A and B are shown apart, each in its own frame.
Chain A
């Protein structure tokens, strides 16, 4: 019988296996190549940045807009002064105050959003009951709630934290719910079929399956948290902070300094979101997915 089976299929099967192995080898090499190439767009991006800065600087000799528009040379001078000059403690205090607020607000958002998202994603009844409200709040411009938040929380760090949570917790909740729901559709039945209990379903299936969704929602939330923190600082005087610094310099028409602050905020946001890109890459590699599409 085995011999007959051989004439039937084993030849084809070997071909299939070989093509399978070949595919996996191709996959590996593609992954490596992708990983190396990952660096290569960077220099193009840097060149574009340099070209833009040079054009900006040179435009001054065509039509000088100072003091309405600062120029890179002036901004660079001010930046150097702010970082090394006598007022540098104030500047670093502002950076650290804002960073702390962002990080704290983000962590609270992740905590609230993950719990909420999990409940909404895992339990069908709670999804039906809660999802419309989460979506409604998600769509509301939460800046509209700022005056109310000030009334509720007074003038202090709590206000900034509340605004950050309002701005970013829903992103986390919706991302988490999406991830959990996705795993529920395809993979939770597998676990159930093999007798997994509730805890095993959560730890061995739902959580690992949701991780890509969690990470992308955290990245989004991180960006929102930076925006919300600066918004809060611009509206409410929380003492030290980059937002406060920005509004002070703008009021004094110190546009060079304002630009330095804007750039610092941009770097802060970029770095914060970049952390999640890095974590995503590491997790994908740990999960053996490489940079393959998923």
Chain B
């Protein structure tokens, strides 16, 4: 299976990505159609086109990574999907499974963790439940079970500043999972961590959300994107648009060493870098 999805140069330039997996389209979880966003930037008030006509379908249970240079709008796209950023044109549709147990359809994991420093770890994880009006006892029990899932039940009474970066992001992950979201949105969640912790956390994320949960994962790292994903979306800048989509046909479950040793890993790595490389030569300052 050769997995550079066949997108014509013209279609790519227009940002139109054809849906190649017709058989899965009944299972579309998140549908982004014709999304465009621009905003005033800098003191001179120049219009910055963050996203132009982005179309993307994310399938149910899929782990999708978005990768691209700075300014390609990958974080902006994620925030538009979450609804914390607004946009001028287009639609974002999240299809909820009618039988779903989720309390919210979307939950976000922040790059800088976004923990409230005055709250205990448990109260941080319970925040989304508290905002939903869940009673204290119920929400604390539920938060505790998700803390247990990320292996941090012993830190429940601590405060965020007492934890290491990797532990803090586990809390961020537990908080997002506490609402059992239909779609988990992660914005460079491991960007602030050191290399070793990062690799440990990649495996952790796969263990916790790699099965059955729909995840959209923004990252700077090509290796990370391939390791965790079913598909990798490559974005490009000025204006931000989708350039290519790769399917990672490496069987799951995956482990760091075995995945990196897989022949497809280096092929995909090369192909994705090639897509990114074109961008860097065109925009040396990007």
Which residues of A are at the interface with B, using a C-beta cutoff of 8 A?
1-2, 4-5, 7-10, 12-13, 16-17, 19-21, 23-24, 27-28, 186-187, 189-196, 200, 204-205, 208-209, 211, 287-289, 292, 294
A8 to B203, CA, bound (A): 9
Binary CB contact string for chain B from 151 to 173 against chain A (1 if under 8 A, 0 otherwise) = 10011001101111011000000
Q: Which of B6-14, B57-65, B241-249, B250-258 contacts A (4 or more CB under 8 A)?
A: B250-258
Q: Which of B15-23, B108-116, B135-143, B275-283 contacts A (4 or more CB under 8 A)?
A: B108-116
Q: How large is the interface on B (under 10, 10 to 19, 20 to 34, 35 or more residues)?
A: 35 or more
List of B residues within 8 angstroms of A2 by Cβ: 207
| Closest-CB distance, B29 to chain A (whole angstroms) | 18
CB within 8 Å of A: which B141-194 residues:
151, 154-155, 158-159, 161-164, 166-167, 179
- The A/B interface has a contact count, at CB < 8 Å, of 108
CB within 8 Å of A: which B195-235 residues:
196-197, 199-200, 203-204, 207
For the A-B complex with A7-B257, A19-B164, A209-B116 known, give 19 more contacts whose Cβ atoms are closer than 8 Å. Answer: A4-B257, A4-B258, A7-B255, A8-B203, A9-B199, A9-B203, A16-B164, A16-B197, A20-B167, A21-B154, A23-B162, A24-B155, A186-B114, A187-B116, A190-B127, A193-B108, A194-B108, A289-B117, A289-B161
| Closest-CB distance, B7 to chain A (whole angstroms) | 31
A268 to B34, CA, bound (A): 65
A200 to B130, CA, bound (A): 10
The answer on a CB contact under 8 Å between B116 and A205 is yes
| Closest-CB distance, A23 to chain B (whole angstroms) | 7
The answer on a CB contact under 8 Å between A194 and B164 is no
Q: Given B84, B112, B255, which contacts A8 in the complex, CB threshold below 8 Å?
A: B255
Q: Nearest chain-B residue to A193 (Cβ)? A: B108
A17 to B110, CA, bound (A): 21
Chain A CB within 10 A, most for which of B107, B162, B253, B256: B162
List of B residues within 8 angstroms of A24 by Cβ: 155, 158, 162-163
A288 to B120, CA, bound (A): 8
List of A residues within 8 angstroms of B82 by Cβ: 193
Does B96 interact with chain A (Cβ within 8 Å)?
A: no
Q: Given B108, B130, B167, B256, which contacts A17 in the complex, CB threshold below 8 Å?
A: B167
Q: Given A8, A21, A294, which contacts B256 in the complex, CB threshold below 8 Å?
A: A8
Q: Nearest chain-A residue to B206 (Cβ)? A: A5
The answer on a CB contact under 8 Å between B118 and A194 is no
Does B1 interact with chain A (Cβ within 8 Å)?
A: no
List of A residues within 8 angstroms of B117 by Cβ: 287, 289, 294
A205 to B115, CA, bound (A): 11
The answer on a CB contact under 8 Å between B179 and A194 is yes
When A208-B118, A287-B117 are in contact, do A5 and B164 touch as well, CB less than 8 Å? Answer: no
A218 to B132, CA, bound (A): 34
The answer on a CB contact under 8 Å between A288 and B159 is yes
The answer on a CB contact under 8 Å between A208 and B107 is no
